[in-house]
Amino acid sequence: MTAVRILAPAKVNLRLDILAREESGFHQLETVFCLLHLADEIDVEPDRSSITLEVDGPDLGAPEQNLAFRAAAAFRAAAGRDAGARLVLRKRIPAGAGLGGGSSDAAATLRALNSLYPSRVPQPALARIAAGLGSDVPFFLSGAELALAWGRGDRLFPLPPLPARPALVAVPPFPSPTAEAYRALADSRRGLPPQPRPTLLSLTDLADWQIIAARASNDFEPVLFSRMPSLAAARAALARTGAFLARLSGSGSALFALYDDVVARDAAIRSLAPEYPDYRFIPTSTGAPGAQIGRAHV
Q: How far is 87 from 258, CA to CA, in rounded Å?
A: 33
Q: Of the residues 11, 17, 91, 219, which is catalytic?
A: 11
Residue 91 designated active-site: no
- Give CB contacts under 8 A, 24+ apart, made by 30-33: 30/148, 30/149, 30/150, 30/198, 30/200, 31/148, 31/149, 31/150, 31/153, 32/146, 32/147, 32/148, 32/149, 32/201, 32/206, 32/212, 33/136, 33/139, 33/144, 33/146, 33/147, 33/149
Handedness of CA 97, 210, 275, 286 (dihedral sign): positive
Q: Of the residues 17, 43, 136, 154, which is catalytic?
A: 136
Chain-centroid distance of CA 127 in Å reads 17
| Positions marked catalytic | 11, 136
